[in-house]
Amino acid sequence: MTPSVTLPILGQKFVGALLRFSAELPELSPHDASDKEVSVSSTISRSRRTSTVLLVGGVLAAGLVPISATVAQAAGTVQTVFDFEDGIDRHIQWEAAGAGIQNVAEIGANAQNAGSTKALSYGFDLASPPGYGGIGFEFSDAAQDWSAYDGVQLWAYGDGTESSIQVELLDASGATDPAGTYERWDTVLPVGAEGWRLVTLTWDQFTRASDFQDPEASTDGVLDKDHVRGILFPANAGTGVIKIDDIALFTADGDVLPTVGVAAASADVIEGEDLRAEVRLSRAAESDVTVDYATKDATATAPRDFSAASGTLTIPAGQTSAEVVIRTADNADVDGNRSFEIVLANSNGATLGAHTMTATIRDDEAGGGEPAPDYTAVIDFETPLVLGDPQASPPLGWFTAQGGDNVPSFERVAADDRPGADAENQALEVGLDASSWAVLIDTFTDKGQWVPQDWSEYGGLGFWMKGENSGAPLFIDLLDNRTPDSVIDDAERFTVTFADDWNGWRFVQFPFEDFVRKNVNNGAPDDGFTLSEMHGFAIGVEGVGALSTTLQIDDVAVWGDGSRRPVVASFPAASFAVSEGEEADVTVALSRASESDVSVSFATEAESDRPSAAPGRDYVESSGTLIIPSGERKATIHIPTLDDAKSEPDETFIVRMTDVSGADPAPTTVTRVRIVDNEDPADFAHLIDDFEQGTEGLMPAGDASLQTRGVEPDSAEAYPGQSGYENVLDIAGTGGYVRDFAEPQDWSASDGVGLWYRGRGDGRPVKLSVDEGEKQQAAPEDWTLAWADEFDGDTGTPADLRYWTYETGGHGWGNDELQYYTDSTDNAAHDGEGNLVITMRKLDDPAASGLDCWYGPCQYTSARLITENKVELKHGRVETRVKLPEGKAGIWPAFWALGNDFREVDWPQTGEIDVMEYVGKLPNEVFGTIHGPGYSGGASIGDIHDYGENLGGQWMTFAVEWEENVIRWYAQRDGEEPVKFFEATPAAVAPNQWVFEHPFFFIANMAVGGNFGGPLSPDLTFPQEYTLDYVRVYQAPSTAERFEATFTDDTEGWRFVELPFSQFTRSSEQPEGAADDGLTLTDVQGYSFESGRAAEPGEGSEAVGTQTRTVAAAAPAAGPLSVDQVQLLAGSPGGGAGEGEIPGGDGVPAGSGSLGATGGGIPFGLILSGLLLTIAGALVGLRRHRINASMR
């Protein structure tokens, strides 16, 4: 079985999930080949791989590498890189792949190496989660120079499947470039038939990898070959097992001199011992090789620290290495670590390669410090350890987590040599391997329960540590508070880093102010380092390569007087939840108890992020002063909420600290209260529109203007029997509105449509029309323009609010982003030249702005525009032309889409389609991605297109073409042909759920920083502009059949109008291709409401095909017409498309929808009866255009 590792959240360091092995392994296969039949796809496409920083992997069609079908011999020089005769030392493997050594005798040796006894056996299964994997070899000691060769070759033995792998080279710019900066170059290799064959790959067959590049990788687009850091074999397609042997470099003709250089760029030695520096040849030479060497002073100087040396080193013929031995000096001083260099020059018989080694002399004196006199031990290791199960949720006691196979060792040991210890003293011995991150965690446990400790009265953390002076980069994690009533590990992490850079015992002290928050994506609170509910302690090592150390830890303690720490008042949670109609309890907490009373003034305010709770309707507007008595650490604000008897999304409001006396305010002085709706949506399923979300989703028709207003139940404006606060729709002028549903609705179980109508009694005809029938299926080339925003507004005007909503806030938006999104035209406005410009600005005085971000006063402002409940799309093509901002690290513009059931099922279940993302740290690339359950965030599925040059400031067009079970991505630079660079299907996400068969709304935004945007370049200047020329939606032309019923406005004031479906008649004007099969009501695409002109004296006012019922009459209505509570009559509606599917599968079946996209299917009856749709201030008729062929 494929080896796997589970990575618990506790102490996790997200540096990849590589499994490392240092011992010989049996043959590994990703499945039991003896009893499992494997089904393999015949299509070769690139595997997807993920990173905790880069949000995309790839599924991209790729060509096959030409291979030798028969045995071939490479001429010239052949230099073996791996022959596997000594096993596989420190190879890496990840996810759905495994590798081991197989005896060649079982399959026979390859034709070129009859003496071979062992080969690599590599198995993979891309049908298994997470659907990607691979193996490979990194040269951790030093880069290798392959520039003198013509390519790489290997012997391959297939299994007869149509699976494939990649061969990938890691190319560094310099000899000492760190991991994470290597450029990747790859090509695709079929697994092929059984039997050995020689595969020869010349350098020109490798192209820059498009499925994955490290975030800081070089972008020079050149395979340099002089600093190769590794060779990898990612799985590419299918399920298979391939044997590999004798990986080598070759030249087509002529001899290549071997390369001579230092075997490692750095080395360590304990003072007083000899440093043995290996000088290595890339291969044995036929004659002696010589090279000069000399030491060079740095922080270590000769002769005080080492004996200077110089000379000529000889590597005899037939051998591959020799040593330079340098004597170091011991002393009794605590003088820390020092370094010097060994430099090579003047090689003879070989090409000089890596020529400098940095040697560190490690001090062997402890030089420790005595502990602070007021320290209090938290863990003294004098009793047996409580061992925790890392698979438990939450794990309790001591347990380990790691990024590879380097499981930390730990045990209690005798430690009577610690200063001040008695003869029976026990300590904790911890073995750490830095080949990847690893951590040892203790969750504070008492009698089987996770019991937090209060450290708020102390000033810092300390412990005794017996170091080895290994240089290992270590960290301490402290587990602070969790979400109340949580049953998982969502403890907030705070961390501090240090190094094992001394020998012997030393007491280490860290003030709590030195700890910084660590985001491990576990849903932790973000309320500062409270110290009042400490849940655990952890010590770990960062992954830096081949380095290990064994430490001893004793007496983990808190020390100091916490009264020296400032008293800080904060909200202990970013949000509080309350059931509608109940009292919200909002806690204010202090970092420690104060000797005097602390007063906190507060006030509620409306939330700028939607959906917002309304004061007086959803909660009682409140303000006041909260007193936290001396000696206490918490107090509670009580805010009543109101039950509005409406089925609606959960709504939020803000509580803000306006003033704090007796303490310092926390950087973030706001929290949110989420009012959880308590109504059953089924009780309101009959409602089509109640206008509680304003005019969202309504398109004005004719010369009508639409506006909603609130009406109290005891107002003279209330309709008869109104029991609560209502939003009603006012229609001024002649015309009305159009509502297109994002998903068809089933009205077949209902008898008709009813609505409250407040008329003028002037005899005008009022018509309600229904569009019904299945949507026409058409090929993408036959789609026509359904909706567009051409951004033709006047200079300085905001985005068209009929289509767009400004979302605001600075809470990080799930990615620790740095900007605050505003609704100001300073951040998003028309430029008067047919564009909408989103502008990122840096604030001159963040503290004076009054804008609160998750990290404190906001430093940047930008804009985020969404079409939720206004323009929504299921299937079709969305296209946008944009000018990208400057390509510098930190900037992050995007155009993307979220499912319209986002408020109900949350992300990622709702689905996300990233039409375009651009991050300045990768300035040559654009991203197209999908996110869903099981493939979100770092595990998302997508691809990039690399243009090979910085795209900042360039105009580009991006499009997504979306049909059932397939989404395609296109990119096009102005003046160039479009490029299809990604396609997603359900097979790409299997076995996870495909959640892209329901409506989505659009988002245009520009972020800065965050998990994907990354650290800001010092060269990034502000303001930055992201310019949108247009957004267009194309769909199959509407063929919905239209039916209508009319009543006469012959009564002033409110009345309830009933329109039975039996009275609806087929409209005289129909779209081309409309069916003529009667009103079935099973696929209602939308409806429209329109009023005509008032009747002239003498004109008739008889209702046509209607039934009306007057409930009561109010005062004469001199103002606009009003409508409310549009609903289905006599029974409940059908469930709409997709009822019964799991959440996220088919979106919202009924209610606020739009377009299909909103406004896109302008009802033909309305258009052809003389009513027009107002777009961007101009009256336009129905315009149907072919899709822009240039983008296909």
Catalytic residue positions, numbered: 912, 917
| Interatomic CA distance for residues 532 and 391, integer angstroms | 27
Measured in whole angstroms, the distance separating CA 357 from the mean position of its chain's CA atoms is 40
| Interatomic CA distance for residues 960 and 895, integer angstroms | 11
Measured in whole angstroms, the distance separating CA 1122 from the mean position of its chain's CA atoms is 45
Yes or no: say if 498 and 508 are a contact pair by the CB < 8 Å rule.
yes
Yes or no: say if 1144 and 1130 are a contact pair by the CB < 8 Å rule.
no
| Interatomic CA distance for residues 332 and 936, integer angstroms | 56
DSSP secondary structure string, 917-984?
E--TTSTTEEEEEEEBTTB-GGG-EEEEEE-SS--TT-EEEEEEEEETTEEEEEEEETTS--EEEEEE
Yes or no: say if 621 and 821 are a contact pair by the CB < 8 Å rule.
no
| Interatomic CA distance for residues 1045 and 1067, integer angstroms | 9
Yes or no: say if 253 and 73 are a contact pair by the CB < 8 Å rule.
no
Measured at the CA of 817, the angle between CA 528 and CA 578, to 5 degrees, comes to 55
| CA distances to 355, 807, 1022 from 843, in Å | 48, 19, 10
- Closest among 263, 322, 332, 251 to 289, alpha carbons compared: 322
Yes or no: say if 283 and 174 are a contact pair by the CB < 8 Å rule.
no
36 CB-contact burial (10 Å; exposed 0-12 / middle 13-18 / buried 19+):
exposed
- Closest among 999, 1037, 1066 to 770, alpha carbons compared: 1066
Torsion angle defined by CA atoms of residues 934, 936, 938 and 940, in that order, rounded to the nearest 10 degrees: 90
In sequence order, what are the residues at sequence separation of 6 or more whose Cβ sits closer than 8 angstroms to the Cβ of residue 690? 646, 726, 727, 1124, 1125, 1126
Beta bridge partner(s), residue 121: 100, 243
In sequence order, what are the residues at sequence separation of 6 or more whose Cβ sits closer than 8 angstroms to the Cβ of residue 858? 810, 818, 819, 820, 843, 846, 849, 851, 852
| Interatomic CA distance for residues 321 and 104, integer angstroms | 29
Beta bridge partner(s), residue 1112: none
| Interatomic CA distance for residues 499 and 542, integer angstroms | 10
| CA distances to 166, 449, 575 from 583, in Å | 60, 31, 15
| Interatomic CA distance for residues 44 and 62, integer angstroms | 7
| Interatomic CA distance for residues 793 and 1029, integer angstroms | 12
| Interatomic CA distance for residues 524 and 491, integer angstroms | 5
Residue 464 has which token pair?
């005794």
